[in-house]
Amino acid sequence: MRVGVPREIKKNEHRVGLTPTAVREYVAHGHSVSIETGAGLGAGFTDADFKKAGAKIVADARTVFADNDMIVKVKEPQKVEWEMLREGQILFTYLHLAPDPEQTKGLLASKCAAVAYETVTNAQGGLPLLAPMSEVAGRIAVFSAAETLLKHNGGMGLLFCGVPGVAPARVLVLGGGVVGLNAARMAMGLGAEVVVLERSIPRMAYIDEVTQGRVITRYSSIGAIEEEMVKADVIIGAVLVPGAEAPKLIKREHLKQMKPGSVLVDVAIDQGGCFETSHATTHEDPTYVIDGVVHYCVANMPGAAPRTSSEALNNATLPFGLALADKGLEALKQNPHLARGLNVLKGEITYPAVAEALDMPWSDPFGVWAKG
């Protein structure tokens, strides 16, 4: 398989689809790897590092897309990128299609096979390719919130960890999954008072166990959200419906009931956000204020730590990427967990939650394959 890695072009995105370590593994499996020049610089990897690992360095993204059978990225393709995809080409990256009809239509028009990291599953029912970035995002969300709480950043002027005699921040985490647990543990470690709202009773028991009871858990309901949000200095949105648009848990009318200068951090923004007033922001301009509440809705939070994020992501994606490179789309037929990652094939949506979110038709992938 000819595998290509373009430089990420989404604003403030410095991660890279393959690290030199991963490239060496692909080469050892007999594949050729082309890297766009400078693709790894933001994450601390030079062209020389990739060459040493066995990659070929090419001048531009157009060459990467034109000369390779499989494209490995980090973020969803931008318009100029999806226009370079072609029929039969495999795209392996984060897609987050549910809130993005324009990208979906672009991928459908290309007739590529688009495999999304965020919907690949494992035998435990988890999302193994989303988990490493969820860990990073959950941790970044906390110290981003702590910084945003400071007065010069628009917050209420509260020191997140407090000092002797003065209470620390109260942090409400919506969702106790990978993002939520990492956010809760980070906030707890920094000295905040932490409440997690979650609907899975076994998950709440697990959070209680791993935090030794230092994190308060409550069953998530409309009433619990309304009770806790008025007491919170920070709310971290960490809810996920795999492949689908995130539910809106904090409504516009709720903002006036919250503390002035409190902070909302929406980690679910890639899936449309879990606050009604959320819209995507960037690391350069991360916040905005509505009704006195500061919103932090950066769409690629892990991009702030590109070295850590690239290495963690590749640790997770490597076996799946190698399977695709070794066997092509046959790998999806042989591995039902990898097959769950297939969102688009031959101009048709093959992931039900995406089709439902966009009110578009869904096709069973095996039926699409059968059409030849």
Tens-place pLDDT, residues 311-327: 999 999 999 999 999 99
pLDDT of residue 242: 80
Residue in the block written with tokens 């988990």: 131
* pLDDT reading at 369 higher than 90: no
pLDDT of residue 371: 67
Other Cβ atoms less than 10 A from the Cβ of 123: the count is: 8
Other Cβ atoms less than 10 A from the Cβ of 205: the count is: 11
* Known catalytic membership, residue 270: yes
pLDDT of residue 364: 87
Confidence of residue 11 (pLDDT cuts 50, 70, 90): confident
Using CA atoms, how far residue 261 sits from 114, 194, 258, 345, in Å, is: 41, 18, 9, 46
pLDDT of residue 365: 81
State the pairing for strand pair 32-36/2-5: parallel
Average pLDDT over residues 147-164: 97
**In the beta sheet, which residues pair with residue 282?**
none
Confidence of residue 271 (pLDDT cuts 50, 70, 90): confident
- Active-site option among 96, 254, 295, 337: 96
* pLDDT reading at 372 higher than 80: no
* pLDDT reading at 370 higher than 70: no
Q: What is the dihedral of CA 297, 302, 306, 308, to 10 degrees?
A: 160
pLDDT of residue 195: 98
Other Cβ atoms less than 10 A from the Cβ of 12: the count is: 18
* pLDDT reading at 241 higher than 90: no
* Known catalytic membership, residue 96: yes
3-state secondary structure of 163: strand
Q: 32 burial class (0-12, 13-18, 19+ CB within 10 angstroms)?
A: middle
Question: Can you tell me the distance from the alpha carbon of 234 to that of 247, in angstroms, rounded to the nearest whole number?
Answer: 19
- Active-site option among 254, 270, 295, 337: 270
Using CA atoms, how far residue 242 sits from 98, 125, 177, 249, 307, in Å, is: 10, 11, 12, 16, 26
**In the chain, % of residues over pLDDT 90:** 93
Say what the pTM is. 0.90
Tens-place pLDDT, residues 50-99: 999 999 999 999 999 999 999 999 999 999 999 999 999 999 999 999 98
Q: Show contacts of 67-70: CB within 8 Å, 24+ apart.
A: 67/2, 67/4, 67/34, 68/2, 68/3, 68/4, 68/34, 69/1, 69/2, 69/3, 69/328, 70/1, 70/2, 70/3, 70/4, 70/324, 70/325
Given strand 342-345, what is the order of strands in its sheet? Answer: 56-58, 32-36, 2-5, 70-72, 90-93, 113-116, 342-345, 348-349
CB-based contact 5:39 (threshold 8 Å): yes
pLDDT of residue 213: 96
Mean pLDDT, the chain, as a whole number?
A: 96
* pLDDT reading at 233 higher than 80: yes
Residue type, 170: R
Tens-place pLDDT, residues 158-188: 999 999 999 999 999 999 999 999 999 999 9
In eight-state DSSP terms, residue 155 is S
Residue in the block written with tokens 């039926």: 367
